[in-house]
Amino acid sequence: MYWIVLFGLTLGFATTIAEPALTVISQKAGHIAAEAGVIDQTKESMANYVWGLRLTTAFAVGLAGAIGVVRIIKGWPLVIFILAGYSLIVVATFFAPKEIIGIAYDSGGITTSTITVPLITALGIGLATSIRGRNPIIDGFGLIALASLTPILFVMLYGIFVFGPG
């Protein structure tokens, strides 16, 4: 189980860090944050902010892949993870700085783009198909839902860590 969980983490991280939409949005967020005075306008400060956003989002999707793999293997219902995840997002929204909330919610949408979705979906369906007693339709889908809610939460936590509570 260790290796398949590690594979889910690595696949989620690698596909997201390579996502072209994430690169563009994080760079745009860096320029907007610099113009708004949220971060310094130096190249180094902007680069740190941009990489921080990219790495946070990629790690969140990787973690979602790992959690999704464990969920499929254990047969846990998806609804528990969705309810818990979005409850945490609502709570984090109250504490996140206002400058990061829009970026956080957009980061959840960015992760459902051209590279990440096909590979994460294939992981879920393939794993559910290979485990006796699992239904690929019921158990195999849902990883994309996790992969889009975890970046929202993690980017808000990143904002709280970097800028302080809102």
* Residue-range domain boundaries for the chain: 2-163
- End-to-end CA distance of the chain, in Å? 40
Locate 32 and state its tokens: 């907007």
Contacts of 51 (CB under 8 A, 6+ apart): none
Is 69 within 8 Å of 8 (Cβ atoms)? yes
**What is the structure's pLDDT at 27?**
87
Query: Which residue did the predictor score with more confidence, 37 or 82?
Result: 82
**What is the structure's pLDDT at 20?**
87
pTM of the model: 0.91
Average pLDDT, the chain: 89
The pLDDT of residue 158 is above 80: yes
CA atoms within 13 A on the CB side of 89: 20
**What is the structure's pLDDT at 37?**
75
The pLDDT of residue 61 is above 90: yes
CA dihedral (3, 18, 144, 149) positive or negative: positive
Q: What is the pLDDT of residues 103-123, one digit of tens each?
A: 899 888 888 778 888 888 899
Report the C-alpha gap between 163 and 125 in whole angstroms. 39
Strand, coil or helix: 38: coil
